[in-house]
Amino acid sequence: MDEDSRYEAVRSRDGRFDGEFFFAVETTGIYCRPSCPAVTPKRPHVRYYATAAAAQGAGFRACRRCRPDAVPGSADWNVRADVVGRAMRLIGDGVIDREGVAGLAARLGYSARQVQRQLTAELGAGPVALARAQRAHTARVLLQTTDLPVTHIAFTAGFASVRQFNDTVRAVYAATPSELRAAAPRTRRRPAAAPTAGIPLRLAHRGPYQAGPVFDLLQHEAVPGVEEITGRPGARTYRRTLRLPHGAGIVAVDERTRAPRTSSGTRPGGWLEGRLHLTDPRDLTTAVQRLRRLFDLDADPYAVDERLGADPRLAPLVAARPGLRSPGAADPDEAAVRALVGPAAAAELVRRYGKALDAPCGSLTHLFPEPAVLAGAEPHGTLGALTAALADGALRLDPGADRDEAHRALLALPGLTAAVAAAVRTRALGDPDAAPPEAHTPDSWRPWRSYALNHLRAAGEWEIR
């Protein structure tokens, strides 16, 4: 987008571009999302930034009215397969907090200096600044939606010290943590003392969101012990266990979507509500990002629907289900194993080799077995080859993995079919343009073939094998 297009998006308060760019106002020192309901600033006073971190680095503080730090992430990071896209997915997964810039660079196969240079040149902020912006957002959400102690929030959000936490919150929001908490509407505050409450989540998305087909798919695939769906269609709750870097987690996400009305009466986006229980609070950011990938919450439904809606075969399907998503995976290694063996065999693997939770929650009793455990217990055949490759790093499916390289590694495994490789690429790697060879998808569906096949599946015209 050029500056004319960006200013027009700001002037019309176009929610389609929330998260795609940010604008800052020099006369106020504030940065906003494009759909901010405040009076449109005069054009000479407006500056544009690719990320919230870049706006913060330029000295602007977040608008308290539109909360620009809370918008869905740019859909580019899911689509792009280059170093910047892979780096953004890894930063979202919390790699900087766990492994530092050196760990991020090692995962990408570049030097730390090269990663810093590429991110700064394209996004206006380096990896440390991007991770800092993410920590600040997590802290604000916890301050304004829970009664967790401030010191607890500091370390949960990923800060190394309370002082660093206080300094960052003041710089980003022009308020102390206590002032930020006091400014939250009391109706949004939930006590954290009740052990059954968990951490409340608002998983934001842009544009329309077809939750029904996503929950249908998750219900069809659910593996007992690890997942469950309760309730009736339209009001279901999806629950599952999570294996995280520092411990385990249990999450519950509601099917019913929420969306506030804007001043124009339109609904540019909304959120899914959830609750998260963690054995180690340091896993909060990672858990949230993995849920965002599972529910495909950073997608750009406007771009997808515009492209696919121009196809005669897909046009009526897109019109019937605007904003249909292509679900990903909360655990890519788990998704690869499940794509290979199917739900029934996956349930048996959980029963035999899954790690039992210290505190089971209803029917959720286990974590899905790790690749190394499966490689040792079931070393033969395609399953053994797959899990061994995952365990020793010969096959990488983490958010920063090179999709083409991972696809070649999958096809090199004995007995693994192209259909399974395509399923892994779609779900575990989050590729929006993956399709099995037998689908015979036309080039006009690119770069959204994963979404096109989901439309056909939802309409009963395509069956995932």
Give how many domains the chain has, as a whole number. Answer: 4
| 86 shares a domain with 32 | no
Mean pLDDT of the region 28-33: 95
| 176 shares a domain with 141 | yes
> CA–CA separation, 447 vs 441, rounded Å?
11
pLDDT digits (tens, 9 = 90+) for 85-139: 999 999 999 999 999 999 999 999 999 999 999 999 999 999 999 999 999 999 9
Give the pLDDT of residue 115. 95
The distance in angstroms from the start CA to the end CA of the chain is 40
Give the pLDDT of residue 192. 41
Nearest to 306 by CA among 75, 67, 6: 75
Mean pLDDT of the region 133-159: 90
439 found inside a domain: no
What CATH number has the domain bearing residue 11? 3.40.10.10
Give the pLDDT of residue 425. 96
| Single residue among 11, 40, 70 that ends a domain in this structure | 70
Nearest to 10 by CA among 1, 147, 225, 189: 1
Cβ-in-10-Å burial (0-12, 13-18, 19+) of 342 comes to exposed
Give the pLDDT of residue 262. 56
3 state DSSP class of 256: strand
> CA–CA separation, 215 vs 175, rounded Å?
39
Nearest to 275 by CA among 328, 318, 237: 237
| 216 shares a domain with 183 | no
The answer to whether 102 touches 137, Cβ cutoff 8 Å, is: no
Specify the residue for token string 């993956």: 434
| 82 shares a domain with 66 | no
Mean pLDDT of the region 193-200: 62
264 found inside a domain: yes
442 found inside a domain: no
| 182 shares a domain with 85 | yes
What CATH number has the domain bearing residue 160? 1.10.10.60
Predicted confidence band of residue 326 (pLDDT cuts 50, 70, 90): very high
pTM of the complete model: 0.90
| 415 shares a domain with 336 | yes
> CA–CA separation, 273 vs 454, rounded Å?
23
378 found inside a domain: yes
Residue 465 has pLDDT above 60, yes or no: no
Residue 194 has pLDDT above 50, yes or no: no
| 171 shares a domain with 204 | no
Q: Which structural domain range is residue 83 located in?
A: 78-145+148-188
157 found inside a domain: yes
| 167 shares a domain with 225 | no
| 110 shares a domain with 161 | yes
- Rounded to 5°, the CA angle 392-398-404 comes to 90
- Rounded to 5°, the CA angle 46-80-6 comes to 20
222 found inside a domain: yes
- φ, ψ for residue 311 (rounded to 5)? -90, 130
E strands of 259-303, at which residues? 269-278
| 179 shares a domain with 82 | yes
Give the pLDDT of residue 183. 84
pLDDT digits (tens, 9 = 90+) for 212-260: 999 999 999 999 999 999 999 999 999 999 999 999 999 999 999 987 7
10 Å Cβ neighbour count for 165?
23
Mean pLDDT of the region 394-419: 96
Mean pLDDT of the region 369-383: 97
> CA–CA separation, 391 vs 336, rounded Å?
12
311 found inside a domain: no
| 115 shares a domain with 18 | no
> CA–CA separation, 46 vs 217, rounded Å?
44
3 state DSSP class of 13: coil
What CATH number has the domain bearing residue 350? 1.10.340.30
| 62 shares a domain with 14 | yes
E strands of 245-382, at which residues? 247-258, 269-278, 355-361, 364-367
Give the pLDDT of residue 148. 86
175 found inside a domain: yes
Give the pLDDT of residue 141. 87
